[in-house]
Amino acid sequence: MGAGVTASALTSQAAVSDRVRIAVLGVNGRGRDHIKGIMEQKDAEVVAICDPDGQLLEKRAGEFEKAYGKKVKIEQDLRKIFDNKEIDAVTVATPNHWHALAAIWACQAGKDVYVEKPGAHNIYEGRKLVEAAHKYKRIVQHGVQLRSSEALREAVQLLRDGVIGNVYMARGLVFRWRPDIGKKGTEPTPSYLDWNLWQGPAQERAFTRRVCHYNWHWTWEYGNGDVGNQGIHETDMCMWGLGVDTLPKKITAMGGKFLFDDDKETPEVLTSTYLYPDQKKMIQFEVRHWMTNREDGADVGNLFYGSKGYMVIKGYDTFETYLGQKREPGPSRKAGGDHYANWIKAIKSRKTEDQHGPVETAHLSSALAHLGNISYRLGRQLEFDPTAEKFVGDSEANAMLTRKYRKPFVVPEKV
C-alpha cells in the first residue's frame, strides 16, 4: 500500500449497507475507546483490529469476544486491512507519527476514516491528508469530540451571537498530571512486536520501552508533547470559538523541562501565543504538567474573552459565561454528544456537511500546535504565511514543516 494505490471505489459499500464494517488500527490506548464507541452504534460494527503488537492484539481479541460474544479478525499489518474489500472504514488510534499516512492510505483504498488527534504529525502531512480526503471523496472525521457536544455547539453559537460581545482572544489550557517517566535504554525487540511497522514513517532506531507504548508522546520522532496530545482538543476549540479558519501570522512560544531529569524530549511547561493581526484576534495556549491552580475551575479547557464578558469551557461538555465588570453568571450548560455516531451518519449520507469534525480540523488544529512547537524548538518568534502555509524567509523553520520519511512509509507529494 502506498502512493500508487488507487481507490477501488469512490462510493463505499457502507453508503448502502445496513452496518458499516470497521477496523480499529492501534488498540493500546484510544483504540479501546474506539472499539467500545463503535460497538455501541446500531448501524456499525468492529470486524477487525490491528496493531504491530501481537501480544496486545490477542489480549484485545479476548476482551472483545468476552464483551460481545463473537470473534474479531486480528491483523498486525495495517496494509492488509486496507487491502480487505470487506472493510468499509477504519479508525486510526496509532501513535501520532502514523496518523496521517494511515489515513491517506485508507482514503486511497476507498475507505472512510476516523483519525485521532492530532490528524498529522507535521504541517506538510496534514495538508496532504486534506487533499487525499477530497480527491478520493472520503468521509474523514477528526477525533475532536468537543465538536459533537450539544453544550459546546450551543456555546459556539452564543459566541457568534455576541453573548460576550466582540470575541478577541481565546486561551487553551492543558494542565494534566505528567510525572517523571525515568530513563530507559535500548534492548532486543520483543518477539511479539513488529518494531519495523511500529516505527513506520520514523527513522529506524533500536527498540526501547521509553517510547513503546505510551511515552512516545514525549519524543519528537513519534509525538508532539502535550500541546499536540490533549492540547489538540483545545487548539481546535480555540479556533472554532474564535471563528478563525486559517493559521496565524505570528507565533511565539517558550518553555522547558524544569522538574524532571527523565527521557522526555518535549517541554513539560509550554506557553504559546498565536496572532491573527488582520482579524484582531489572538490565541494563547498554556501547558502545565505538575502542581498548578485551575483557571475559573478549568484545568483542561478554554477561556474566551470578549468586550462584554468571558466564557469558560470545562472539559468536553460544559460551558459557563460571566458578564460585565461584576462577572454576573450568564448562560451555561452541560451536555455531551456522540462523535462516532456523527461520523457514521456522514458515512451513510456521504455528506461532509453532516460532519462535526471534518478533515480540515485535522489539519488546522494540529498545525496550530506544530507551529508553537517549532517556535519553541527554534527559540524565537516566527512569521508565517497562512495562504502558502510557509514561514516567511526562514529556511530553518520551513525545514521543520515536514520530516525525513523512511521508505516505504512515505507521505507522498501527490496523494
pLDDT digits (tens, 9 = 90+) for 131-179: 999 999 999 999 999 999 999 999 999 999 999 999 999 999 999 999 9
| Res 243: pLDDT | 97
Q: Which cell goes with 359? A: 478533515
In order of their start, the domains of the chain are: 13-146+340-359 (3.40.50.720), 150-181+213-334+369-394 (3.30.360.10)
- Statement: residue 123 has pLDDT above 60: yes
| Res 17: pLDDT | 55
How many other CB atoms are there within 10 angstroms of residue 71's CB atom?
Answer: 11
- Statement: residue 292 has pLDDT above 50: yes
Task: Calculate Rg over the CA atoms of the chain.
Answer: 21
Alpha carbons 228 and 287: distance in angstroms, whole number? 10
- Statement: residue 295 has pLDDT above 90: yes
Alpha carbons 92 and 366: distance in angstroms, whole number? 15
Three-state SS string across the chain, please? CCCCCCCCCCCCHHHCCCCEEEEEECCCCHHHHHHHHHHCCCCEEEEEEECCEHHHHHHHHHHHHHHHCCCCEEECCHHHHHHCCCCCEEEECCCHHHHHHHHHHHHHCCCEEEECCCCCCCHHHHHHHHHHHHHCCCCEEECCHHHHCHHHHHHHHHHHCCCCCCEEEEEEEEECCCCCCCCCCECCCCCCECHHHHHCCCCCCCCECCCCCHHHHHCCCCCCCHHHCCHHHHHHHHHHHHCCCCCCCEEEEEEECCCCCCCCCCCCEEEEEEEECCCCEEEEEEEECCCCCCECCECEEEEEEECCEEEEEECCCEEEEEECCCCEEEEEEECCCCHHHHHHHHHHHCCHHHCCCCHHHHHHHHHHHHHHHHHHHHCCCEEEECCCCEECCCHHHHHHHCCCCECCECCCCCC
Tens-place pLDDT, residues 207-231: 999 999 999 999 999 999 999 999 9
Alpha carbons 50 and 71: distance in angstroms, whole number? 14
Alpha carbons 39 and 65: distance in angstroms, whole number? 12
- Statement: residue 74 has pLDDT above 50: yes
Of 18, 22, 20, 113, the C-alpha closest to 64 is 22
- Statement: residue 16 has pLDDT above 50: no
Tens-place pLDDT, residues 245-291: 999 999 999 999 999 999 999 999 999 999 999 999 999 999 999 99
- Statement: residue 348 has pLDDT above 50: yes
Average pLDDT, whole number, for the chain?
A: 95
Whether the Cβ atoms of residue 141 and residue 346 lie closer than 8 Å to each other: yes
| Res 18: pLDDT | 85
| Res 354: pLDDT | 98
264-269: which pairs have CB atoms within 8 A and are 24 or more residues apart? 264/181, 264/215, 264/218, 264/219, 265/218, 265/219, 265/220, 266/217, 266/218, 266/219, 266/220, 266/223, 266/224, 266/225, 266/226, 266/373, 267/225, 267/376, 268/178
Tens-place pLDDT, residues 39-60: 999 999 999 999 999 999 999 9
- Statement: residue 2 has pLDDT above 80: no
- Statement: residue 393 has pLDDT above 80: yes
How many other CB atoms are there within 10 angstroms of residue 103's CB atom?
Answer: 32
Tens-place pLDDT, residues 86-120: 999 999 999 999 999 999 999 999 999 999 999 99
Mean pLDDT over 342-364 rounds to: 98
| Res 45: pLDDT | 98
